[in-house]
Amino acid sequence: MASKKVLGLTAATAALVMGLTACGNGGGDNGGDGGDNGAAEEFNFGILYPQTGALAFLGPPQISAAKYAIDEINAAGGILGTEVPAITEGDEAGDSAQANEAANSLVSSGVNAVIGAAASGMTQASYDTITSAETVQCSGSNTAPDLTNIDDGGYYFRTAPSDLLSGPVLARQMVEEDGHVDIAIIARADDYGDGYLGAVEAEVEALGASVTTTETYDPDSTNFDSVINSVTSEDPDAIALISFQEGAQVIAELIEAGVEGDQLYITDGLNDPELGKTVNEDDPDVINGVTGVAPGADNPEFNEGLREFDPELEVFQFSPQVFDCVTAIALAAESAGSVEASDYVEHLPEISRPEGTECSSFEECRDLLEQDEAIDFQGTSGNIDFDDNGDPTSATFQVFHFGEEGHETLGFEEYSVNE
């Protein structure tokens, strides 16, 4: 199958023309022109994130991280010497039609890049609107494997790892770390659930353990009796639940059926410090023992900086990845010497490749580019190294847990596609 990063004819022709006057990574005109008329142009970011809906708890860390990245960029002098204005916001709302409407509004406003959507399904509903307009889109939280091969003309990227990387980490936690041998898997019947389920199942079996049963459910369902009965009848050692917020009801029913907290393993869609109250408001400790895996970052310095930037922020999930989307795009624009997506899009993979000099902040990387050096941007979430499909090839994962002290981090695990 041809890579989805092959540009369409019109874009490819434009890229060829630009290639005659630009030297690639580190060779762009970084004098701050950003356009053909010699006048500095602003780089405008849009963001598509859940202000409302089931995943609204993921909204604050996304918008705060994006604003924090822009603040750091402006403190270093802006993109191509011009300050980045306030980000333009759109609400994906957990609704496909609304997400696409918000995406259309962002594109119509003339943004130079869109951060988001947050949910993979909302990106599936809106990416064509964004990328067909030759606007770069970068999500810090999309994990569905199906997004790897979408027909995006080369304009879609993500800094969050595919579930094909997340699944093995969850499986290893259950089997290698905690010693479970008979495992059941419950998942949403959608792109997120199907891809994650397949990755967990394959790794569990590769590790020599058994998958006793797999069950999927309609995300809009309000009754999970048949799923619960099917799973508990197999008497598994552990149960992996691949879910979003509706999973709180599944957890409640599993616990009511006699499943212990330390038998339950969850994913990023349920990485919420308030999960216990959602499951059982009268007895939040009912989920004590539950363990989960989510894309994370072993970067206390970043967390401290973001907390200082936004003291009200409580959930940090996917904030490093969103920060990295904004920074990587800014560096690509610096490398291309242009704010136009059709000019800088091909520089996005280049600024993250291991052939360059490692750097970690916008200012540090920008200064290397101005010295005509190739760079290897090391994100706050870890090494990114975009492949030809715009996916990161390695990632850091947080192993989180609910115990007597509430939500806590047990540690971090590195995983690469080369393992």
313 within a domain of the structure (yes/no): no
Which parts of 100-181 are beta strand (E)? 113-116, 136-139, 156-158
User: 328 pLDDT exceeds 80?
Assistant: yes
Residue, of 289 and 393, whose pLDDT is higher: 289
Asked if residue 137 lies in contact with residue 158, where contact means CB atoms within 8 angstroms, the answer is no
301 within a domain of the structure (yes/no): no
Asked if residue 269 lies in contact with residue 94, where contact means CB atoms within 8 angstroms, the answer is no
Asked if residue 129 and residue 50 are part of one domain, the reply reads yes
CA distances from 287 to 175, 278, 406, 414 (A): 20, 10, 9, 26
User: 167 pLDDT exceeds 50?
Assistant: yes
Count Cβ atoms within 10 A of the Cβ of residue 208 and give its class: 0-12 exposed, 13-18 middle, 19 or more buried.
exposed
Domain residues for 13?
Answer: 9-160+318-386
Asked if residue 269 and residue 402 are part of one domain, the reply reads yes
Q: For residue 402, what is the enclosing H or E element?
A: strand 394-403
Confidence (pLDDT) at 55: 83
Asked if residue 380 lies in contact with residue 323, where contact means CB atoms within 8 angstroms, the answer is yes
Q: In this predicted model, what pLDDT tens digit does every residue of 195-245 receive, in sequence order?
A: 899 999 999 999 999 999 999 999 999 999 999 999 999 999 999 999 998
Asked if residue 322 and residue 242 are part of one domain, the reply reads no
User: 34 pLDDT exceeds 60?
Assistant: no
Mean pLDDT of 294-299: 90
Asked if residue 66 lies in contact with residue 90, where contact means CB atoms within 8 angstroms, the answer is no
User: 404 pLDDT exceeds 80?
Assistant: yes
User: 354 pLDDT exceeds 90?
Assistant: no
312 within a domain of the structure (yes/no): no
Confidence (pLDDT) at 403: 96
Confidence (pLDDT) at 84: 98
Asked if residue 107 and residue 174 are part of one domain, the reply reads no
Asked if residue 131 lies in contact with residue 124, where contact means CB atoms within 8 angstroms, the answer is no
Task: Tell me the pairing of strands 394-403 and 406-416.
Answer: antiparallel
Confidence of residue 40 (pLDDT cuts 50, 70, 90): low
3-state secondary structure (DSSP) of residue 401: strand
CATH of the domain at 189: 3.40.50.2300
28 within a domain of the structure (yes/no): yes
User: What is the rounded distance in angstroms from the CA atom of residue 326 to the CA atom of residue 338?
Assistant: 15
**Terminal CA-to-CA distance of the chain, rounded, Å?**
23
Task: Read off the tokens for 315.
Answer: 């959930």
Asked if residue 272 and residue 253 are part of one domain, the reply reads yes
Number of H helices, E strands in the chain: 14, 15
303 within a domain of the structure (yes/no): no
Asked if residue 404 and residue 273 are part of one domain, the reply reads yes
Percent share of the chain, pLDDT over 90: 78
Asked if residue 125 and residue 38 are part of one domain, the reply reads yes
Asked if residue 89 and residue 13 are part of one domain, the reply reads yes
Confidence (pLDDT) at 393: 86
Give the Cβ contact number of residue 313 at 10 Å.
Answer: 17
391 within a domain of the structure (yes/no): no
Does the model's pTM come out above 0.75?
yes
Mean pLDDT of the chain: 90
Asked if residue 152 and residue 55 are part of one domain, the reply reads yes
Confidence (pLDDT) at 6: 37
Mean pLDDT of 116-139: 96
Confidence of residue 395 (pLDDT cuts 50, 70, 90): confident
Q: In this predicted model, what pLDDT tens digit does every residue of 43-89 receive, in sequence order?
A: 999 999 999 988 898 899 999 999 999 999 999 999 999 999 999 99
230 within a domain of the structure (yes/no): yes
User: 7 pLDDT exceeds 80?
Assistant: no
Residue, of 32 and 109, whose pLDDT is higher: 109
Q: How many domains does the chain have?
A: 2
User: 362 pLDDT exceeds 60?
Assistant: yes
Asked if residue 101 and residue 219 are part of one domain, the reply reads no
Mean pLDDT of 397-409: 94
Asked if residue 323 and residue 195 are part of one domain, the reply reads no
Residue (of 262, 307, 314, 255) closest to 280 by Cα position = 255
Asked if residue 173 and residue 111 are part of one domain, the reply reads no
Which of the residue ranges 24-38, 130-144, 171-185, 229-243 would you say has the lowest mean pLDDT?
24-38
302 within a domain of the structure (yes/no): no
CA distances from 365 to 8, 123, 299 (A): 30, 29, 19
Q: Which residue has the tokens 């949403």?
A: 188
3-state secondary structure (DSSP) of residue 265: strand
